[in-house]
């Protein structure tokens, strides 16, 4: 690394154009939003600049607090399930033979590279009333009825009722777990991969079973990666918009949808700006926690 003073011209040529672009088309829009978040909404939805905290206070009104709380709740459940699915997957890859590791990792990342909209749409096709899942269940139901009729219990099963799987909170959680699974698997895999396997061998040699080794050796040692993965999938699910928009129903509006609504049908930009900044502050807080945890991990050792 060279001090910028030694070569001011090269530094300016390299740094100025991208900085200018980012300042104009990223920082300035955020500043405008921040200013709007203190403004007032005029009768036609126009923005009257002002300095008041009414928008922020409105965000913690009961009705909106409910949506924020629901977002946190959905994000938390998503994180737990993502961990439950992602941890075994990461462990399986980390302990796989060397030549299998990269192909398996690629398999985890590959869906992540297909369009978010299409991945979400794919779940609509699976979960809807006439979707693949209900179709499979109906097939099982039919076969079971035949078997039951054969042993003289015909009619016990009744007509097949397709399950209402789509347009509710469960569908949103499934969609979110699906989308953010790689964000859990990758950091957990990274720590498991670096972990000194002789600790696990020592634990097994000293008579602990696999479960005990997992709970008291593997998981504590992999904790930085686990925390990182959990925090990542939490903030990503918190700020989501598309998944609840497509898979959710009236009961599963999240903060992202609330923000989007202020900028479309409700036309209350100042309130939307305030909500957006609340979401940003929360994101920063969690990122800061993650960074300081990572820093502490690297520090003393």
Partner 1 sequence: MAATAETSRPVRRRGRRRSNPLDYSRKTWMRLTMGGAFFFLYFPIVSLIVFSFNDSKRNITWKGFTLRYYEKAYENSQLHETFLNSMIVASISTTVATVLGAMLGLALYRFRFPAQGPYEGMVHLPIVIPEICLAVAMVAFFATFEIPLGLFTITVSHIAFSIPFVAVVVRARMAGFDRSLEEASYDLGASQWQTFWNVTFPYMQPGLVAGALLAFTLSLDDFVITFFTSGPGSTTFPIKIYAMVRFSVSPEVNAASTVLIVVTLVLTITALAIQSRASKG
Site for partner 1 in 212-271 (CB under 8 A): 235-236, 238-242, 246, 256, 259-260, 262-263, 269
Residue 121 in contact with partner 1, rule: CB under 8 A: yes
Q: Which is closer to partner 1, CB of 73 or CB of 281?
A: 281
Could you tell me the maximum CA-CA distance found in the chain, to the nearest angstrom? 91
Of 14-22, 62-70, 144-152, 153-161, which part binds partner 1 (CB under 8 A)? 14-22
* 133 torsion bin: left (phi>0), alpha (psi -120 to 50), beta (else): alpha
Shortest distance, position 234 Cβ to partner 1, whole Å: 12
Among 89, 171, 172, 230, interactor with partner 1 by CB under 8 A: 89
Question: Can you read off the two tokens belonging to residue 227?
Answer: 């925390």
Among 42, 95, 147, 292, interactor with partner 1 by CB under 8 A: 95
Q: How would DSSP label each residue in 86-137?
A: HHHHHHHHHTS-HHHHHHHHHHHHGGGGS-HHHHHHHHHHHHSTTSHHHHHH
Among 171, 222, 273, 274, interactor with partner 1 by CB under 8 A: 273
Among 80, 96, 221, 293, interactor with partner 1 by CB under 8 A: 96
Question: Can you read off the two tokens belonging to residue 154?
Answer: 């015909």
Among 44, 98, 115, 298, interactor with partner 1 by CB under 8 A: 115
Which 141-200 positions form the footprint of partner 1 (CB under 8 A)?
178, 181, 197, 200
Which 40-69 positions form the footprint of partner 1 (CB under 8 A)?
none
Q: How would DSSP label each residue in 218-281?
A: IHHHTHHHHHHHHHHHHHHHHT--HHHHHH--GGG--HHHHHHHHHTTS--HHHHHHHHHHHHH
Angle at 176 between CA 249 and CA 127, to 5 degrees: 55
Which 21-40 positions form the footprint of partner 1 (CB under 8 A)?
21-22, 25-30, 32-33, 36
């Amino acid at each position: 690394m060279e001090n910028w003073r030694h070569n001011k011209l090269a530094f300016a040529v390299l740094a100025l154009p991208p900085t200018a672009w980012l300042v104009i088309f990223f920082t300035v829009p955020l500043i405008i939003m921040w200013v709007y978040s203190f403004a007032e909404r005029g009768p036609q939805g126009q923005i009257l600049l002002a300095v008041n905290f009414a928008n922020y206070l409105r965000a913690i009104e009961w009705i909106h607090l409910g949506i924020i709380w629901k977002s946190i709740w959905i994000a938390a459940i998503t994180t737990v399930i993502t961990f439950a699915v992602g941890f075994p997957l990461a462990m399986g890859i980390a302990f796989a033979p060397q030549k299998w590791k990269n192909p398996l990792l690629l398999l985890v990342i590959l869906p992540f590279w297909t369009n978010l909209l299409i991945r979400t749409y794919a779940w609509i096709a699976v979960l809807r009333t006439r979707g693949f899942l209900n179709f499979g269940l109906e097939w099982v139901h039919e076969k079971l009825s035949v078997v039951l009729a054969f042993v003289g219990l015909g009619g016990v099963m009744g007509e097949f009722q397709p399950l209402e799987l789509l347009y509710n909170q469960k569908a949103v959680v499934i969609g979110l777990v699906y989308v953010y699974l790689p964000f859990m698997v990758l950091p957990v895999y990274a720590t498991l991969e670096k972990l000194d396997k002789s600790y696990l061998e020592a634990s097994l040699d000293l008579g602990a079973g696999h479960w005990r080794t997992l709970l008291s050796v593997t998981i504590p040692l992999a904790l930085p990666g686990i925390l990182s993965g959990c925090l990542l999938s939490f903030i990503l699910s918190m700020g989501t918009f598309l998944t609840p928009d497509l898979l959710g129903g009236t009961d599963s509006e999240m903060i992202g949808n609330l923000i989007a609504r202020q900028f479309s049908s409700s036309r209350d930009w100042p309130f939307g700006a305030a909500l957006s900044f609340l979401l940003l502050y929360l994101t920063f807080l969690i990122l800061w926690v993650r960074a300081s945890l990572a820093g502490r991990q690297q520090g003393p050792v």
